[in-house]
Amino acid sequence: MSDSPDIDAAPAPTAINRGFWLPLVLFALFALVPIVAAFGPKTFILALVTRIMILGLAAMSLDLLIGYGAMISFGHAAYVGIGAYSVAILSSHGINDAFIHLGAAIIACSLFALFTGAISLRTTGVYFIMITLAFGQMLFFLATSLAAYGGDDGLTLASRSLVFGSKMLKNDVVLYYVVFAVMAAVYLLLRAVVASRFGRVLRGVSENPVRMQAIGFAPARYQLVAYVIAGVIAGVAGCLLANQAEFVSPAYATWQRSGDLIFAIVLGGLGTLHGAIIGAAVFSLTAELLSGFTEHWAMIFGPVLILVVLFARGGVAGLFGRPS
């Protein structure tokens, strides 16, 4: 009899329960934030947690690439920048409809991801990292050169996007719940994607692309589709970020912002979609706390991340049970 573990064996019930309940508790806490915020500095709390959810949305999209597809992209923030500038550029020309902004961001991100992904996926390892970084920086420098839209100084929006002609997003609570609804919908969508046949093939390609090709799958096609999906979701996050801040800047697309997303998913737990949201929350709250003591807060946060990588391989989400 073989002593090797049965790969089809069911996980322990406790682990399943933890993996199931943790996302529910997480989303319930987010849903209650506006109520709790009424007893404190409401504007500050809503702005902070809204940005956390937007960061979590972008982090989930990157987790699809890194955690499930083993594609480490240092240019992922470029899609956040594309989404944000889709709102800003159209608004500056008098087009304020939220659905047009969203549609433009999705189309632009899809095309950019399709073009850059087709080229980047011809490489692997450190070469893939460097070429995604190069594409991201290329977009960053393009944004800084757009003098008509603020250039390096960025651009302030005259107003938030209109929904059916209404200024409902001007209300911070309404915007909060819109971001919350989008984050929840994307989470459920990505859960379905990674649990589907497509998701299983993507994970198989990340572990052994040669074997997957040998049994009849085309690894590059699956990776490219995942790359486009991730880019589009990050673009949606950019649209929401532009509306939340009412300001866009080339800084949204820098490699440092891509690094922040990577920090978030490593901190929360690679390959766990709710872990990406938890990581975004921990990263943002820690940065907010430490920045109150010193502007060099990253020097403190860096060693903390190293300790997480060394001693908590599953990240913060791994402390609560089996990844899902």
> How would you write the pLDDT of the chain (324 residues) with one tens digit per residue?
334 333 334 444 444 445 568 889 999 999 999 999 888 898 999 999 999 999 999 999 999 999 999 899 999 999 999 999 999 999 999 999 999 999 999 999 999 999 999 999 999 889 999 999 999 999 999 999 999 898 898 999 988 999 998 999 999 999 999 999 999 999 999 999 999 999 999 999 988 888 888 888 888 899 999 999 999 999 999 999 999 999 999 999 999 899 999 989 988 888 889 989 999 999 898 888 887 777 777 777 778 777 777 776 677 776 666 544
Chain-centroid distance, C-alpha 62: 5
Q: Decide if 173 is inside a domain.
A: yes
Q: Quick check: 65 and 73 in contact, CB under 8 A? A: yes
Query: Which pLDDT does position 66 carry in this prediction?
Result: 94
CA–CA separation, 274 and 71 (whole Å): 19
Q: Where are the alpha helices (DSSP H) in the chain?
A: 13-37, 42-63, 77-92, 98-120, 125-144, 172-195, 197-207, 209-214, 219-245, 255-268, 273-290, 297-311, 315-318
CA–CA separation, 212 and 133 (whole Å): 27
Number of domains in the chain: 1
Tell me which residue range forms the domain holding 103: 51-254
Q: Decide if 128 is inside a domain.
A: yes
Q: Decide if 320 is inside a domain.
A: no
Query: Which pLDDT does position 19 carry in this prediction?
Result: 56
Q: Quick check: 316 and 282 in contact, CB under 8 A? A: yes
Query: Which pLDDT does position 321 carry in this prediction?
Result: 60
Please report how the helices 42-63 and 219-245 are oriented relative to each other, as an axis angle in degrees rounded to 10. 170
Q: Decide if 302 is inside a domain.
A: no
CA–CA separation, 164 and 168 (whole Å): 9
In angstroms, the Cα distances linking 304 to 21, 182, 258, 261, 301 are: 27, 30, 19, 16, 5
Q: Decide if 324 is inside a domain.
A: no
Burial bucket for residue 13 (CB in 10 Å: 0-12, 13-18, 19+): exposed
Query: Which pLDDT does position 271 carry in this prediction?
Result: 86
Q: Decide if 292 is inside a domain.
A: no
CA–CA separation, 73 and 136 (whole Å): 9
Q: Decide if 242 is inside a domain.
A: yes
Q: Decide if 31 is inside a domain.
A: no
Per-residue 3-state assignment (H helix, E strand, C coil) for 200-230: HHHHHHHHCHHHHHHCCCCHHHHHHHHHHHH
Specify whether the backbone of 248 is left (phi greater than 0), alpha (psi in -120 to 50) or beta.
beta
